[in-house]
Each structure stands twice: as structure tokens, then as C-alpha cells.
Structure 1
Amino acid sequence: MNILIAGANGKTGRILIRHLTQKGHNAKAMIRKEEQTATMKELGAEPIVADLEKNTDHAFNDIDAVIFAAGSGSKTGPDKTTDVDRNGAIALIDTAKKHGINHFVMLSSMGADHPEQGVKEMQHYYRAKHDADEHLLNSGLSYTIVRPGLLTDDEPTGEIIAQTKLENRKGAITRGDVAVVLAESLSRESTQNQIFEILNGNVPIDEALNHL
């Protein structure tokens, strides 16, 4: 499949590109800056310069599915979070629908279901994710919404726990394992039109996703 990746130059996005290309997919890396094209090519992706906060129609030529892995980053304030994680995601969902995209995979966050219950300094982030998730749910697109816990840069384990709503949300998950889950959610029947939470656990990713 031809997969458009929003947030391709982020930590998770770069890992995702490698995994998609290893699986035989064509990764189309959406990046904001021309100078990032060389890095994307080295990773095996086709770079497409497009800004989430502007028109992205040109990025959708010959695209089968979208993975939204973009984020404003922890060093930005609430306004930038709203611009990227909420408004940028919503705009991309609308453009994907206009272009008849087959499936949209959203990298969300644990805590997006009830933003008001999160710690005060994170509520704007959870609210942005919540609003983007709700827009995708109501878009009419085929979707998968993945809500990981705390992301780490540790070596991936290949083992997770995945449930619609985890009873115990304490823990973390590696970006590498999240990238695999995102990629595996593209065409797997068990993840179609599903929202689920993930942490590192003791179940192989393939098995965990099949039992959602």
C-alpha cells in the first residue's frame, strides 16, 4: 500500500517508516521542511513537503491509507498543541475523506478519553487528542485509534498489552513497539474501527492485536 505518514520526521515517525518499508509498503513521508527530504530518502521513504496547518491536497496523490503520528512536541505551549494535534489532525482527516482514503490510523494518547481527569498541565494535550479522535470517529472513514501510555526510547520488546480500556494504566511503551502497532493496524480486521490502549506487556504484538 501507499501510506502517507504525518509526522514522519518525528522519533516515532522515523521508526514507522523503516517498519513499513520492511513490510513492503511505500512510505510517503509528509514533512514541513525541504531540508528534511534527504533524511526521509535515506530511511526509504518518498518525501512530500506539506504543512499540516495549511493545504495538504497535493500530498494525497495515489495514497491508500494515512497514519497520523504528528505532534507539537513537549516543548511547545497549548496554542501550538491545538494547532497541530487538534486542528492539523482534523484538517488531514477532512482531506483524507475528500480523497477517498481507505483507512486512517491515528496515534492518540492514553487519557484522551477523559481529558478533564488528566493532570492539569496535560489537559490541553489530552483535549486536543480527544477532539481529533472524535472527529475521526464521526468522519465516516474506516479508522483505528491507538492510545499508548508514556512513550520511551528504549529498545522495542515486541510484547504489549492491548485493550479497549486498560484497567491498570501504569507503565510505558517503546516508540518502536508503537510503530509496529500503527503499521499492523492498517489492514488487520481486528483493529478496524477500533479504539484501544497499549502498554508494554507480555503478549506478542500480533497475538495482542488479534484478540482485541
Structure 2
Amino acid sequence: MNVLVIGANGQVGQKVVKELADSSHNAIAMVRKEEQVDKLKELGADKVVLGDLENDFSDAFEGAEAVIFAAGSGGSTGADKTMTIDLWGAVKAAKLAEEKGVKRFVQLSSMGTPTPDAADDSFKPYLVAKRVADDMLQSTNLDYTIVRPGALTDEEKTGKVEVSAEGFSSMEGRSIPRADVAHVLVGVLERPNTTHKVFELLQGDHSCDEALSSL
């Protein structure tokens, strides 16, 4: 399957490209800058395309059979970029997937998204953007999966996760490596039982296969 990775140069996106390179899938890595192309090719991308979520990036969908949306404005930007990238970029990507007939769409979201009003003021715009993007994706005719991880770390992949479609009662003291998040994002691609599903994700005691089979 040819998988368009939107946000391929991000911290999770790079790991998604590596996961795809180690799988039977082909990664089409979408990046904003020409100088990022070689790096993504080194990570294993079969094809690298230029695209900017704040502009027209419809050409990036050429040849794609699935999408993994892992883009984010990052913690150093303001609410304006959160709106144009995390929210509007995700909405445009879903609409383009519908227009291009790319049915499979996997979206990286966040724990806390269901109740953004409970967050502090600095984090609230991010969760509002993710919540609206998630809601919009669920209103499409796409075969979507929405993955909502907890606090992210840079630890090595453990291969051990826990998922919850109902939501965890608490994530105190818990987190998940970005590498495990990428593993799950790729792992759901060909699992019919994960389509039209939204679930939270933390490091746990089960293999990815075991955890995803429980959904």
C-alpha cells in the first residue's frame, strides 16, 4: 500500500516513515522544505513530495492509497499555527482524501481531546483544534482510525502498549514512546476492526497485535 505521511518530518512522522520502510507498505513522505527531502529518503521513504498544509497540497495525494496524518504545529508556535495546521490542515487533508478516493485515513490525535475545556489555557487551543479535526473526520465517508496517545517520550520502542476505546481513567505517571505510537499508526492500516474507531494509547504490557485485536 502506498501511504502518504503528512507531517513526515515531525518527531512522530519520521518514525512512521521508518516503520513503513520496515513493512510491506511504501511511504510517500510529505515535507514542507526541499532541504528535508534527502533526510526522509535516508529514513526509507520511497517517494518524497513537497507540500504545505497552509497552502494547496493536493498534488501530494498522487498515487496514495492511504493517509497517515501525523502533522502538528509544535509546542513553540502560537494558537494561530495550531488553527492552520492542527485543525485546518487536518480538515483539508480529509477533504482531499475524499476527493481523491483515498479511503483509508489514520489520524494522530491526543488524549484529553474529548474534554478540552478541562485543560489549562496554554494547552486548550491545541485540544480544541484536535477535537474539531477529529469530529470532522468522523463525519466523512473515509475509513478512519483516530489514535489518541498520552504524554510522548523519546525512549526506544518497547513494542508493548495498551489501548482503550472508552478512555483511560487516569494517565498519571504514564506515557508512551513516540516510536511505539508510530508502530501503532502503521499497525492499524490493514486491520478492518480498527476502522471507524477512536482509541487512546499508552505504554502497556501487550504487543501491538494483541492490543489492536482487542478493539
**TM-score between the two structures when normalised by the length of structure 1:** 0.98
Task: Provide the rounded CA distance (Å) in 2 between the counterparts of 1:44 and 1:141.
Answer: 27
Aligned to 1:102: 103
Aligned to 1:49: 50
Task: Give 2:202's match in structure 1, choosing from 199, 202, 209.
Answer: 199
Unaligned runs of 5+ in 2: none
Task: Provide the secondary structure at the position in 2 that maps to 1:120.
Answer: coil
Aligned to 1:12: 12
Using the TM superposition, name which of 184-193 and 92-101 deviates more: 184-193
Task: State the shift of 1:67 in Å.
Answer: 0.3
- Indicate whether 1:34 and 2:37 are aligned: no
Task: State the shift of 1:60 in Å.
Answer: 0.9
Task: Provide the rounded CA distance (Å) in 2 between the counterparts of 1:84 and 1:133.
Answer: 13
Aligned to 1:168: 170
Task: Provide the rounded CA distance (Å) in 2 between the counterparts of 1:39 and 1:20.
Answer: 15
Task: For 1:114-193, list aligned pairs within 5 A.
Answer: 114-164=115-165, 165-170=167-172, 171-193=174-196
State percent identity of aligned pairs: 45
Task: Provide the rounded CA distance (Å) in 1 between the counterparts of 2:105 and 2:139.
Answer: 12
Q: Structure 2 counterpart of 1:169, which letter?
A: M
Task: State the shift of 1:169 in Å.
Answer: 2.4
Task: State the shift of 1:120 in Å.
Answer: 2.1
Task: Provide the rounded CA distance (Å) in 2 between the counterparts of 1:162 and 1:97.
Answer: 28
Structure 1's consecutive aligned runs of 4 or more residues displaced over 6 angstroms after TM superposition are none
Task: Provide the rounded CA distance (Å) in 2 between the counterparts of 1:28 and 1:116.
Answer: 36
Task: State the shift of 1:56 in Å.
Answer: 1.4
**TM-score between the two structures when normalised by the length of structure 2:** 0.96
Task: Provide the secondary structure at the position in 2 that maps to 1:79.
Answer: helix
Task: For 1:56-67, list aligned pairs within 5 A.
Answer: 56-67=57-68
Residues 170-203 of structure 1 show CA distances to partners (whole Å, capped at 9, x for unaligned) of: 2110000000000011111221110000100111
Q: Structure 2 counterpart of 1:34, which letter?
A: E
Q: How many residues align?
A: 212
Unaligned runs of 5+ in 1: none
RMSD: 0.8
Aligned to 1:87: 88
